Amino acid sequence: MKKMIWMAVLLMLVSTSAMAQSRGDWVLGNWRGGGYWFPGVVQGNEGGRITIAYDDGTRETVSARDVRPYTWALGTRVECRWSGGTEWYAGRITGMSKDGTKIDVHYDDGDNERLGTGGCRSR
């Protein structure tokens, strides 16, 4: 029973953490509700609507449920645009710059690349 209560509390904290995002927080946003999560920075939070300036230069205002804390770390599965192209390729984060804005990706096909977070997304 205690385990179930703990899990419920944890789930509540995780689900409400996106609602508490403040201006300047780095987050993942569900771009146009399409199920892909892109990194960006909160520009504003009003009435449960959060405006995100994505790392790729785009901007969007979304519901709080379409925002989650930025959680990319070593080992995170991502899809990135190889050499800035238009096709997405699956891989895993193998390194990060100190400020987190550049990541090293080892693609499933064996290639490696360092690129800005704006060229990647997660599911």
Measured from the Cβ of residue 105, the count of other Cβ atoms closer than 10 Å reads: 24
The token pair that represents 56 in the structure block: 């790729």
Domain 77-121 grouped into CATH 3.90.480.20: no
Asked if pLDDT for residue 52 goes beyond 70, the answer is: yes
Q: What CATH number has the domain spanning 2-68?
A: 2.30.30.140
| pTM for this predicted structure | 0.82
Report the C-alpha gap between 10 and 86 in whole angstroms. Answer: 38
Q: Show me where the domains of the chain are located.
A: 2-68, 77-121
Domains 2-68 and 77-121 share a fold: yes
Q: What is the mean pLDDT of residues 76-94?
A: 96
Helix (H), strand (E) at residue 16: helix 2-17
Type of residue numbered 28: L
What's the pLDDT band for 20 if we cut at 50, 70, 90?
Answer: low
CB 50 within 8 A of CB 44: yes
